[in-house]
Homo-oligomer: A and B are copies of this chain.
Amino acid sequence: MNDLTRLRDHLATIGDLHSAAALLRWDQETYMPPGGAGIRARQLATLSRLAHERFTSPLTGSLLEEAEPLLNRLASDSDDAALLRVTRRDFDRARKLPAEFVAERARAASESTEVWRTARPANDFPAFRPHLARMVEFARRTADYLGYTQHPYDALLDQYEPETTTRDVAALFDRLREVTVPLVRAIAARGEVADARFLDREYAEEPVRGFALSIIRSFGYDTARGRLDTSAHPFSTQFGRDDVRITTRYPRRSLGALFGAFHEAGHAMYSQGSAPSLDGTPLGDGASHGIHESQSRLWENLVGRSRPFWQYAFPGLRQVFPAHLGSVDAELFYRAVNRVRPGLIRVDADEVTYNLHIIFRFELEQALVAGDLDVKDVPETWNAKMAESLGVTPPDDRDGVMQDIHWSLGMIGYFPSYTIGNVASVQFFEAARRAHPGLAEDIRLGRFGGLLGWLRDHVHAHGRKFLPKDLLFRATGGPLTPEPYLRYLREKFGEIYGLGGGGG
């Protein structure tokens, strides 16, 4: 196995460059003083370039070639076989992107994000526009370098969801839209069923943070190997399985931060749960962004917005905010945090409308990359699509086209992963429930170890060893399918909104 040791050492050095860069990015979002932006862009560009140069060097190719004959002797689900498969895939893809291009793209993304950070609160889309245009151009060039047979968007999507095509996603999204749009209408026709005004009060940041932290610790997020900070846009990042950090934000001092923390803790527990043998290798990461999102959504929604969870957690929250919640009970709280209201902001969206936000972004991105939509027309198109699918129109670009950080970072092709995650989250949750039929009762008692244990064994421990579709099949016994998710939505919200009938 000496051949593999050399490959592993080589990849570990590259991994250290990537994880150092991840810390630099974490710092940029949390503690970096504003003046540090220029240096940071330079440092990140250098680390990316060096990692890319090393990884795409002929040495990687020859270490791979030396080791690949081992595949004949290795079990296909062994760590070593997976390392060779994943590294070969990454290597062949990375070789297609010139080092200079990668560095230039990283620098542009850093600059663009800094501009977005000030342009968004100033509602200044024209300031951001040239940067967006640049990032779209980088995405196009990326697709050209990577290659594709049908649509350049296939190449972009494949970066986040290996072996998933634009056509697959479009089919999934069509079915989701088909069921969701009438469901949203039926709910709207029903009107508000719970007096949720208490949610609009101001909740002081520090107690919200403290409560969130106590809950995510009880879920199983290990703060000896992580921490919770504040940033403008919540995220999770890992430097290895033993340092996995999350952030949340406290918008309008609402309880929204709780769900943000549950969400990011879901990501973080995935990273903390990968097998120690995968740490420091390219396998010590999630199978895809969609699978990652399935974990965050599972904890945020299937646990954190469930009735049994709030039966468990609400008394504690009411103790923290007696003046706000004295006259509220767990059932009302459950209904309130599940109110369905088509709104402007994706990250604030309820479970029913959320995917509609994704679906029109997916369409916009395809049009941008294909050159069918000019960047200057994006705000108008955005607003029209919002009105069409959600029935609301952004009053400004701040809460319209500029609401997400993704495009400023050049992450075009990423949004579909969110909805793939939603769909998969229900498949995983139902598989866990088949293994632990008492799961709902466990949650009602604040016992999350059975659920986390199942996820560790069937999802987390495998890191990036398997393709998303293979992982999903191994864990749930089937392929990605929207039906369990749609059934879940119809049952849960049908019950809350008294729509009659469990679905169909």
Contact = CB atoms under 8 A, between A and B. Distances in A.
Given A38-B242, A42-B280, A23 B33 contact: no
B280 A35 contact: no
Contacts of A225: 33-36
Contacts of A47: 16-17, 20
A111 to B, nearest CB: 15
Among A21, A40, A226, residue most surrounded by chain B Cβ atoms (within 10 Å): A40
A226 B245 CA distance: 23
Contacts of A13: 46, 49-50
Given A24-B20, A43-B16, A33 B243 contact: yes
B39 A242 contact: yes
A227 B31 contact: yes
A239 interface: yes
A19 B38 CA distance: 13
B17 A46 contact: yes
Interface string A209-235: 000000000000011111101000000
Interface residues of A, number: 39
Interface in A1-36: 12-13, 16-17, 19-21, 23-24, 27, 31-36
Given A27-B27, A33-B226, A224-B34, A16 B240 contact: no
A16 B223 contact: no
A38 B240 CA distance: 9
Nearest to A280: B42
Nearest to A19: B43
Interface string A40-75: 101100110110000000000000000000000000
B239 A39 contact: yes
The quantity of this chain's copies bound in the complex is 2
A42 B49 CA distance: 20
Contacts of A36: 225, 239-240, 242-243
Contacts of A21: 20
A362 to B, nearest CB: 35
Interface string A234-271: 00000110110100000000000000000000000000
Nearest to A21: B20
A35 B239 contact: no
Given A39-B243, A42-B280, A223 B17 contact: no
Given A19-B43, A20-B43, A39-B19, A33 B239 contact: no
Nearest to A16: B46
Most buried by B among A16, A21, A39, A240: A39
Given A20-B43, A46-B13, A35 B227 contact: no
A271 to B, nearest CB: 12
A222 B224 CA distance: 33
Given A13-B50, A40-B243, A280-B42, A223 B33 contact: yes
A127 B394 CA distance: 65
Nearest to A34: B224
Contacts of A12: 42, 46
Given A16-B42, A35-B226, 14 more contacts: A12-B42, A12-B46, A13-B46, A13-B50, A16-B43, A19-B43, A20-B21, A23-B24, A23-B43, A33-B224, A33-B226, A35-B242, A36-B240, A39-B239
Interface of A: 12-13, 16-17, 19-21, 23-24, 27, 31-36, 38-40, 42-43, 46-47, 49-50, 222-227, 229, 239-240, 242-243, 245, 279-280
Closest 3 CB pairs of A and B: A36-B243, A35-B225, A39-B240
25 contacts: A13-B49, A16-B43, A17-B46, A17-B50, A19-B39, A20-B20, A23-B24, A23-B27, A33-B223, A33-B226, A33-B227, A33-B243, A33-B245, A34-B224, A34-B225, A35-B222, A35-B225, A36-B225, A36-B240, A36-B242, A39-B239, A39-B279, A40-B239, A42-B280, A50-B50
